[in-house]
Amino acid sequence: MFTKILGYDVFNKTKNDFIKYIENFDKINIVSGNPEVLYNGINDPVLFECFTQNNSVIIPDGVGTVLASKVIKKPVAEKIAGIDVMKSIIEKCENENKTVYFLGAKQNVLENCIKNLKSTYKNLKIAGSHNGYFNLDSCEDIINDINKSRPYAIFVAMGSPKQDIFISRNLEKLPCSIFMGVGGSFDVFSGNVKRAPKWMIGFGLEWLYRVIKEPWRIRRLSSIPKFLIKVIEYNRVN
C-alpha cells in the first residue's frame, strides 16, 4: 500500500483506494507529496516528523514523485492530485452533513472559492474561513475560531512550507478529523486559475500547463531534479 521514498511512506494505490483508506482514521493529515513539499521536509526536521507520523498520509501529487517511485522500481498506481482528493472530501462532507473550514489565499480569492463551491455543492456546510495573510506565531484568534466552529475537515491553502508549518503546529490543538494542505486549490475553485485540459492531466503535463500560464512557477521546478537526485543517492546507500 506504500512505497518508501527518502524515508517517506507514499500511498501507492488509486485515489479511490485512498478515499476508502482514510476512513480508518479519527484524525489525519493528508500531505500532497509533490517534490517541493517532500524536499522541504527533508531539510526541516519538524516538517519531516509531521509528514512521517502515524496520522499523516502522503499522496503522490506530482509527476516528480511518480518518477521517483519508478526510479526505485516500486511504482505508485497513479498520480493522485490533491485538488481531486479535496473534491472527494467536500463531496463526502456534503453527503454526510459534515462541516468544512477554509484557511488561506487572498480574501477575494477565498470568498470566490467559497461562493463557487456553495454553488456546486448546494448542501455543503461551511464552518468558517480566514484568509492566509497572518502571522503563524500570533494567530490565536484563528485557532479559537476553528476550535469554536469544530469543522470535520480543514483545508489550508498557504503554499509550502507555511501551510505545512501551520498544520504541524496545530494538528493536536484543533478538533478537525481531516487536515489537508492544498496549495493553490482555492485559486482554481475561485475561477482565478484554470486547471489543465484533461488530456494534459492524463499525460502528466499539468505542471507544464501551469508554467505556461504562470511563468514565475518555473523556478519552483528546480525542486524536481534536486528531489530525484536525492532519491537516486538515497536508494544507492540504502
- The sheet with strand 56-59 has its strands ordered as 2-5, 8-11, 56-59, 28-32, 178-181, 153-157, 99-104, 125-130
pLDDT band at 220 (very low <50, low <70, confident <90, very high): low
Which ranges constitute the DSSP H helices of the chain? Answer: 15-21, 35-42, 45-52, 63-71, 82-95, 107-120, 140-149, 162-170, 185-190, 198-202, 206-213, 223-237
123 vs 237: which has the higher pLDDT: 123
CA distance 77 to 73: 12
Averaged pLDDT for residues 79-106:
97
* Range in 30-34, 55-59, 198-202, 217-221 the model is least confident about: 217-221
pLDDT of residue 97: 97
Check: CB of residue 189 under 8 Å from CB of residue 115. Answer: no
Q: Is 236 helix (H, G, I), strand (E, B) or coil?
A: helix
Check: CB of residue 28 under 8 Å from CB of residue 22. Answer: yes
Percent of the chain with pLDDT over 70: 92
* DSSP count for the chain of H helices, then E strands: 12, 8
CA distance 80 to 44: 24
Q: What are phi and psi of 73, to 5 degrees?
A: 65, 30
143-177: string of b/e by CB count within 10 Å (b at 16+)? eebbeebebbbbbbbbbbbebbbbbbbbbeebebe
* Range in 31-45, 86-100, 194-208 the model is least confident about: 194-208
- The string of pLDDT tens digits covering residues 5-34 is 999 999 999 999 999 999 989 999 999 999
Query: Residues near 238 by Cβ (< 8 Å), separated by ≥ 6?
Result: none
pLDDT of residue 200: 76
Q: What are phi and psi of 136, to 5 degrees?
A: -60, -25
Give 230: exposed, middle or buried? Use CB within 10 Å, 0-12, 13-18, 19+. middle
pTM: 0.93
pLDDT of residue 197: 81
pLDDT of residue 202: 74
Q: Is the pLDDT of residue 216 over 70?
A: no
- The string of pLDDT tens digits covering residues 139-149 is 999 999 999 99
- The string of pLDDT tens digits covering residues 38-92 is 999 998 998 999 999 999 999 999 889 999 999 999 999 999 999 999 999 999 9
18, 20, 26, 30: CA torsion to nearest 10 = 20
Q: What are phi and psi of 229, to 5 degrees?
A: -65, -45
Q: Is the pLDDT of residue 192 over 90?
A: no
Domains of the chain by start residue, with CATH: 1-80+196-238 (no CATH), 81-193 (3.40.50.2300)
pLDDT band at 206 (very low <50, low <70, confident <90, very high): confident
Residue 150's nearest CA partner among 78, 100, 213, 86 is 100
Other C-beta atoms lying within 10 Å of the C-beta of residue 200: 16
- The string of pLDDT tens digits covering residues 149-180 is 999 999 999 998 999 999 999 999 999 999 99
